[in-house]
């Protein structure tokens, strides 16, 4: 099963409520995915040029090391905002590569969840309510965000198996469905030099889209070509710095519903995920067509 | 009129009350408010009652319906009126995938659009959609009638048995063994009755009829890989 949600805010007045809305949408989707939950949120209010979201099994000691030593190693100030098992590091864009290498040396067990100008990813094992509480998602603000509640089929219930998956700067993917050619595609992508960390099918989907974009495709083109290169069931919701995109496989058995008003564009696996959004009664509500790419950007 | 607010009552309480009605009930008219996209609302009814749901619902509205009339002032999720036996389900808005799937009888009216697999494996139900329907509709339909006042998506009537399909607009593509058939007087009459019953003002003459070519009924070596 799995539940996916997304919210793209057109009305700046709602930016402060993004996390609140996403939390409510995600908790409503608990029955579709009680194993784990995660969100990617795009926040424009950070002062740093770039952000790295990291995760650790031992956040207290690891984040202490990062906070006290990383800045000296890469010779630039690093902001550290800790939220439970995750921390967001704020730094200069040209220090990103150096920082990633230094993090790997300082704390080899730290996982990098996302890297980009705006993206932050938070995901953990547990009920959506517990996960969103741990990270205080309801207090977060931003321009757009996507979320996922997982009922695992293709790989183990672990933090790294939770969605969203990010395989490129400011890019991420959540997925409802299952890919059947992920093993062969993973081998092909790895041969092409793409880093894929888990045995999860969705990560291969995310890596595929990032690879296509590195090769010069637009997100629109990458999603279009996924329809012929990916085998299996999928409703994808893809986040980028500017907005989000939706595509469903041609059979389209995985549910999807969208709503649009002057204030927002919302996505849900089910309508009930959207019922608490403002003025949903008068929103334009529709089911995205199969094998059709939709995209909204700021 | 009995009014039930799903803000204050659980789905189980609602359905238990509705399912407890029988043919001699004096509580004939019911209204359900605040459905908020909930699942299986008014499923499993078996009495000639009239239920109106004020708002959009989730999966399996009025599933397995017998005798009851269920109206929705909104849109419905997947599997509306799934396996309906008799009675009537009227959706004011759109219906998601597999509307009326495996239905044995009764009438399902969708005043908006229905998405993919509408009437899949239908077994006697009548379905009238005022708008368009999605791909793979009436797949393996065995009997009953599917009437589409708008357009039909890909692979209409794939592997069809004896369900009849009437489409007023375009058909994106026909599925395996589904062909256009002659519209005879008896079909026009049937269509007129169905359109009238469902409250559509479309004219029977504007429709085309599709049905099974009956080429898949028996094993044919040319169909083997």
Residue A288 is given by DSSP the state P
Cβ-defined contact of A273 to B37 (cutoff 8 Å): yes
- Polymer length of chain B: 225
pLDDT computed for residue B223 by the predictor: 65
Domains in chain B, CATH or no CATH each: 2-215 (2.160.20.60)
pLDDT computed for residue B225 by the predictor: 61
Contact assessment for residue B157 and residue B179, using Cβ atoms and an 8 Å cutoff: no
- Polymer length of chain A: 298
Residue indicated by tokens 């044919």:
B220
| Band of pLDDT at residue A9, cut at 50, 70 and 90 | very high
pLDDT computed for residue B221 by the predictor: 74
In chain A, which among 269-298 make CB contacts under 8 A with chain B?
270-275, 281, 285-287, 290
Rounded to an integer, the average pLDDT of A196-203 is: 91
Catalytic residue among A2, A107, A172, A253: A2
pLDDT computed for residue A157 by the predictor: 94
Q: Check CB contact of A29 with chain B, cutoff 8 Å.
A: no
Specify the CATH class of A3-46+121-255+290-297 in words.
alpha beta
Task: Give the E-state strand segments of chain A in sequence order.
Answer: 3-9, 36-42, 50-55, 79-83, 86-91, 111-116, 119-125, 144-150, 165-168, 171-179, 232-239, 243-248, 257-260, 264-268, 284-286, 294-297
Across-strand partners of A79? A90
Q: Where in chain A is the domain with CATH 3.30.70.3400?
A: 47-117
* Interior/surface letters B197-210, b for 16+ CB within 10 angstroms, e for the rest: ebebebebeebebb
Q: Provide CB contacts within 8 A for A54, sequence distance 6+.
A: A63, A66, A86, A87, A88, A89, A103, A110, A111, A112, A113
pLDDT tens digits in sequence order for chain B, 225 residues long = 999 999 999 999 999 999 999 999 999 999 999 999 999 999 999 999 999 999 999 999 999 999 999 999 999 999 999 999 999 999 999 999 999 999 999 999 999 999 999 999 999 999 999 999 999 999 999 999 999 999 999 999 999 999 999 999 999 999 999 999 999 999 999 999 999 999 999 999 999 999 999 998 877 777 666
Residue indicated by tokens 């989000």:
A244
Q: Provide CB contacts within 8 A for A108, sequence distance 6+.
A: none
| Band of pLDDT at residue A129, cut at 50, 70 and 90 | very high
What is the CATH topology of the domain spanning A47-117? Answer: Alpha-Beta Plaits (3.30.70)
pLDDT computed for residue B10 by the predictor: 97
pLDDT digits (tens, 9 = 90+) for B145-171: 999 999 999 999 999 999 999 999 999
CA distance A202 to chain B (A): 24
Chains A–B, number of C-beta pairs less than 8 Å apart:
43
Quote the pTM value: 0.94
Across-strand partners of B4? B32
Of A241, A232, A233, nearest in space to A213 by CA: A241
pLDDT computed for residue B217 by the predictor: 82
| Band of pLDDT at residue A219, cut at 50, 70 and 90 | confident
Q: Where in chain A is the domain with CATH 3.60.20.10?
A: 3-46+121-255+290-297
Q: Check CB contact of A190 with chain B, cutoff 8 Å.
A: no
Inform me whether the pLDDT recorded for A275 exceeds 80. Answer: yes
pLDDT digits (tens, 9 = 90+) for A27-58: 999 999 999 999 999 997 777 899 999 999 99
Rounded to an integer, the average pLDDT of A161-189 is: 94
Q: Provide the edge-to-edge strand list for the sheet that holds A3-9.
A: A119-125, A36-42, A144-150, A3-9, A264-268, A257-260, A284-286
Rounded to an integer, the average pLDDT of A160-166 is: 93
Residue of B nearest to A271 (CA): B37
Measure the N-to-C terminal CA separation of chain B; round to a whole number of Å. 60
Rounded to an integer, the average pLDDT of A162-176 is: 94
CA distance B54 to chain A (A): 11
Rounded to an integer, the average pLDDT of A110-122 is: 96
Q: What is the ipTM of this complex?
A: 0.91
Report chain A residues whose CB lies below 8 A from the CB of B55.
281
What does the alpha-carbon distance between residue B27 and residue B37 come to, in Å, rounded to a whole number?
25
Q: Provide the edge-to-edge strand list for the sheet that holds A86-91.
A: A79-83, A86-91, A50-55, A111-116
| Band of pLDDT at residue A135, cut at 50, 70 and 90 | very high
Q: Check CB contact of A233 with chain B, cutoff 8 Å.
A: no
Tell me which of A13 and A197 has the higher pLDDT: A13
Rounded to an integer, the average pLDDT of A148-167 is: 92
Q: Provide CB contacts within 8 A for A191, sequence distance 6+.
A: none
Inform me whether the pLDDT recorded for A155 exceeds 70. Answer: yes
């Amino acid at each position: 099963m799995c539940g996916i949600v997304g919210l793209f805010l057109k009305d700046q007045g709602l930016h402060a409520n993004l996390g609140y809305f996403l939390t409510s949408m995600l908790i409503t989707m608990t029955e579709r995915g009680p194993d784990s939950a995660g969100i990617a949120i795009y926040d424009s209010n950070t002062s740093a040029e770039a952000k790295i979201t990291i995760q650790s099994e031992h956040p207290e000691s690891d984040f202490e090391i990062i906070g006290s030593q990383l800045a000296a190693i890469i010779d630039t100030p690093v902001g550290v905002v800790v939220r439970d098992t995750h921390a967001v590091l704020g730094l200069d864009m040209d220090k990103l590569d150096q920082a990633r290498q230094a993090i790997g040396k300082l704390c080899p067990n730290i996982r990098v969840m996302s890297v980009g100008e705006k993206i932050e990813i938070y995901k953990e094992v547990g009920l959506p309510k517990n996960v969103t509480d741990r990270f205080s998602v309801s207090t977060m603000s931003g321009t757009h965000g996507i979320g996922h509640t997982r009922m695992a089929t293709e790989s183990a219930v672990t933090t790294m198996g939770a969605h969203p998956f990010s395989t490129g700067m400011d890019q991420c993917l959540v997925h409802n469905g299952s890919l059947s050619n992920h093993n062969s595609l993973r081998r092909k992508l790895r041969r092409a030099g793409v880093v894929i960390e888990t045995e999860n099918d969705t990560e291969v989907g995310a890596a595929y889209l990032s690879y296509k974009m590195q090769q010069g495709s637009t997100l629109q083109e990458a999603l279009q070509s996924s329809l012929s290169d990916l085998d299996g069931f999928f409703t994808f919701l893809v986040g980028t710095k500017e907005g989000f995109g939706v595509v469903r496989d041609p059979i389209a058995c995985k549910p999807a519903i969208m709503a649009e008003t002057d204030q927002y564009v919302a996505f849900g696996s089910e309508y009930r995920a959207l019922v608490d959004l403002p003025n949903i009664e008068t929103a334009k509500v529709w089911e995205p067509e199969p094998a059709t790419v939709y995209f909204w950007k700021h | 009129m009995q009014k039930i607010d799903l803000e204050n009552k659980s789905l189980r309480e609602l359905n238990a009350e509705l399912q407890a009605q029988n043919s001699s009930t004096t509580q004939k008219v019911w209204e359900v408010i605040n459905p908020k996209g909930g699942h299986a609302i008014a499923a499993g009814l078996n009495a000639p009652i009239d239920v109106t749901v004020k708002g959009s619902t989730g999966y399996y509205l009025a599933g397995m319906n017998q005798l009851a009339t269920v109206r929705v002032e909104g849109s419905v999720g997947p599997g509306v009126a799934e396996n309906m036996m008799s009675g009537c389900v009227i959706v004011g808005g759109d219906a998601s995938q597999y509307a009326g799937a495996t239905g044995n009888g009764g009438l399902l009216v969708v005043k908006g659009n229905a998405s993919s697999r509408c009437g899949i494996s239908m077994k006697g139900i009548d379905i009238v959609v005022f708008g368009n329907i999605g791909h793979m509709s009436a797949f393996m339909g065995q009997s009953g009638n599917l009437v589409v006042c708008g357009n039909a998506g890909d692979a209409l009537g794939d592997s069809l048995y004896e369900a009849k399909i009437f489409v007023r607009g375009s058909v994106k593509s026909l599925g395996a063994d589904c062909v256009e058939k002659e519209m005879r007087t008896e079909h026009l009459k049937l269509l007129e009755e169905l359109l009238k019953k469902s409250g559509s003002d479309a004219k029977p003459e504007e429709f085309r009829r599709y049905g099974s070519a009956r080429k898949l009924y028996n094993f044919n070596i040319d169909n083997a890989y």
